[in-house]
């Protein structure tokens, strides 16, 4: 099969012929139909998050089951599925207490002494987040996918595989936004827009979108923002505090920067909660004013929207098909696998929402 292989950080990926192993007992071979190109892929491409190389990036996809391992009963050949990097073992402390997205069990990947799922001429290709979706085939653990209804368009379904689940999940699960709340979201990329959409679905009375790109702020309005602030003014915190007359109940940071994480905390009213969704580079420290804790302000992280994706994703599909979840506007372009480097470059510029790779059928 062909895949986009990353051999060196900050260098373009090359389309190479890659060998894929046969499904093990609990593995599923998936033929992706669509794969989103996500900003998180960029973090690994530019090295702000280290990863073993060579690897095949991509972690947001939807496709069709091609073959299943002998112990797999959940899906069969032909089923439509969304993949998810939050593969869960189902029996560790995190899974059994309902925190499946925090499962750290290594059993959803192959052990180091076993043949790797992906290779090139005998050289191991490290599977990215147990998925690697910039490829014509994916071999994944059965707990890394969910069945979805077949009337769901695959390109929209792919987005649910990461950005939607991360943004909407942060609002629903991590923060638990109540109807009537005042919400601000910093960063209007795919995840931030999903958080804005989620806050609107949750019934927030005010949803403030903060970004530095006007076209993204327009998109934010289309998916549920009631107010927008262009942070180029240099005083986004002040503007939010003025607009809200004292701060937000909930803020969400969807960029991954120290400065914006600190701003998310500064935008809170007393008792408010800041949720950091963005991937802040390894080694970066975040500074807060200690006295603010006397006002019961809280700050927390969110990983993949604290998802229970086998429950969440089919619901998000229903939300889309019933008009509540706005995914059409999230896709700026459909591309071929060979154009993946261009798509990542466009993400870096911050001007576009999301490119989705469509695989040949």
Task: Using CB under 8 A, list all residues that contact another protein.
Answer: 49-52, 55, 85-87, 102, 104, 106, 108-109, 112, 126, 129-130, 282-283, 303
- Cα 320 to Cα 17: distance, rounded to the nearest angstrom: 36
Nearest CA to 139 among 70, 65, 45?
A: 65
Which DSSP string do the residues of 331-359 spell out, in sequence order?
Answer: --EEE-GGGHHHHHHHHHHT----EEEE-
We find the least distance from the C-beta atom of residue 108 to another protein, in angstroms, to be 8
Measured between alpha carbons, how far is residue 42 from residues 52, 233, 343, 347 in Å? 15, 27, 10, 8
The Cβ-side half-sphere exposure at 49, using a 13 Å CA radius, reads: 14
d(CA 213, CA 201): 24
Q: How far apart are CA 269 and CA 110, in angstroms?
A: 46
Angle of CA points 177, 40, 14, to nearest 5°: 160
- Distance set, CA 154 to CA 81, 105, 148, 158, 317 (Å): 9, 29, 10, 6, 11
> In this complex, which beta carbon is closest to another protein, that of residue 49 or of residue 74?
49
Closer Cβ to another protein, 110 or 216, answer by number: 110
Q: Toward another protein, which CB reaches closer, 85 or 157?
A: 85
For the bound state, the minimum distance from the C-beta of residue 143 to another protein, rounded and expressed in Å, comes to: 12
Q: How far is the CB of 57 from another protein (least distance, A)?
A: 12
- Closer residue to another protein, CB minimum distance, 61 or 130: 130
At its nearest, how many Å lie between another protein and the CB of residue 70? 25
Q: Is the peptide bond before 54 cis (omega within 30 degrees of 0)?
A: yes
Residue 79 to residue 82: CA distance in whole angstroms: 10
Q: Which is nearer to another protein, 101 or 273 (CB)?
A: 101
For CA atoms 155, 158, 162, 165, give the dihedral sign: positive
Give the number of other Cβ atoms within 10 Å of residue 205's Cβ: 12
CB nearer to another protein: pick between 98 and 106: 106
47 vs 180 by CB, closer to another protein: 47
Kind plus residue range of the DSSP H or E element containing 207 = strand 206-211
The minimum distance between CB 50 and another protein, in angstroms, equals 5
Q: Rounded CA gap, 162 and 302, in Å? A: 13
Nearer to another protein, 283 or 290 (CB): 283
How many residues are recorded in the chain?
361
In the complex, least distance from residue 283 CB atom to another protein, rounded to whole angstroms: 6
Name which of 3 and 317 has its Cβ closer to another protein: 3
CB of 317 to another protein, least distance (A): 23
Instruction: Please report how close the Cβ of residue 308 comes to another protein at its closest, in angstroms.
Output: 16
CB of 359 to another protein, least distance (A): 23
């Amino acid at each position: 099969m062909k895949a986009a292989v990353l051999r060196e950080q900050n260098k373009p990926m090359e389309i190479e012929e890659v060998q894929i192993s046969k499904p093990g007992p609990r593995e599923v071979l998936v033929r992706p139909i669509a794969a989103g190109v996500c900003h998180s892929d960029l973090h690994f491409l530019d090295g702000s998050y280290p990863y073993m190389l060579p690897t095949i990036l991509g972690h947001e996809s939807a496709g069709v089951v091609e073959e299943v391992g002998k112990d797999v009963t959940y899906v069969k050949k032909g089923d439509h599925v969304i993949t998810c990097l939050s593969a869960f073992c189902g029996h560790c402390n995190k899974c059994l207490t309902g925190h499946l997205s925090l499962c750290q069990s290594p059993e959803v990947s192959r052990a180091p002494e076993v043949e790797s799922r992906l290779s090139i001429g005998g050289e191991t290709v490290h599977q990215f987040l147990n998925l690697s979706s910039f490829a014509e085939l994916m071999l994944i653990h059965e707990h890394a996918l969910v069945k979805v209804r077949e009337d769901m368009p695959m390109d929209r379904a792919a987005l649910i595989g990461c950005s939607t689940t991360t943004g909407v999940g942060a609002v629903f699960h991590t923060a638990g936004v109540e109807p009537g709340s005042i919400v601000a979201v910093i960063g209007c990329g795919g995840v931030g827009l999903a958080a804005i959409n989620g806050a609107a679905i949750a019934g927030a009375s005010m949803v403030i979108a903060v970004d530095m790109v006007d076209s993204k702020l327009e998109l934010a309005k289309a998916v549920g923002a009631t107010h927008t602030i262009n942070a180029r003014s240099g005083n986004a915190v002040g503007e939010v505090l003025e607009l809200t007359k004292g701060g937000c109940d909930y803020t969400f940071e969807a960029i991954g920067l120290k400065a914006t994480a600190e701003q998310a905390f500064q935008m809170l009213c007393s008792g408010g909660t800041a949720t950091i969704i963005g991937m802040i580079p390894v080694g970066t420290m975040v500074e807060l004013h200690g006295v603010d804790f006397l006002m019961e302000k809280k700050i927390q992280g969110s990983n993949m929207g604290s998802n229970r994706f086998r429950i969440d994703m089919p619901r998000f599909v229903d939300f889309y098909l019933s008009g509540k979840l706005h995914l059409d506007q999230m896709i700026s372009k459909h591309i071929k696998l060979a154009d993946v480097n261009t798509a990542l470059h466009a993400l870096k510029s911050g001007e576009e929402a999301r490119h989705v790779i469509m695989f040949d059928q």
